[in-house]
Amino acid sequence: MGEQGDPCTTEQCVAVADMQRFVARVAAAVHSHGSRMPVTLGSASLKWSGGQYQWWSAAAIQSADNVDGGTLDFFNVHYYSWMEPYDWDPCGASSASYNGLDRPTVFGEIPAVGSCCAV
């Protein structure tokens, strides 16, 4: 999957709508088997889950494939210092409402040193 407006840099590209449909069906399959395990997707940046794109919001995924249970339970995003000048900075004024997030969010990948969110 390439970023919107950018050429895909892999050998085979996947359209956003196709990936959303795939995510919806995987989430629905997990949820339909009575699993209490939450479903998420690792996303390279906060901008894909909220803000200008919202590719993984419930509304976006359901518009690609409105299958029962086909939404994520929480967002799993990555954060690095190169994102600080943009609106993808979770350490600044950002909040769930600021970024338009409709699910709880976990930062599953952050640097150990060298940024506002270093652990």
For 30, residues 6+ apart whose C-beta sits below 8 A from its C-beta are 37, 39, 69
Q: What is the pLDDT of residue 2?
A: 46
Residue 92's pLDDT is what? Answer: 59
> What is residue 115's predicted lDDT score, i.e. its pLDDT?
66
In which region does residue 3 sit, left (phi positive, over 0), alpha (psi from -120 to 50) or beta (all else)? beta
Question: At 7, phi and psi to the nearest 5?
Answer: -70, 145
**CA atoms of 25 and 29, how far apart (whole Å):** 6
Judge whether 74 and 110 are in contact, CB under 8 Å. no
* pLDDT tens per residue, range 42-73: 887 777 777 678 888 899 999 999 999 999 99
Largest Cα span, the chain: 43
Torsion angle in degrees (nearest 10) through CA of 66, 67, 73, 74: -40
pTM comes to 0.77
> Tell me, what's the pLDDT at 44?
78
User: Which residue numbers in the chain have pLDDT < 70?
Assistant: 1-11, 51, 86-99, 114-119
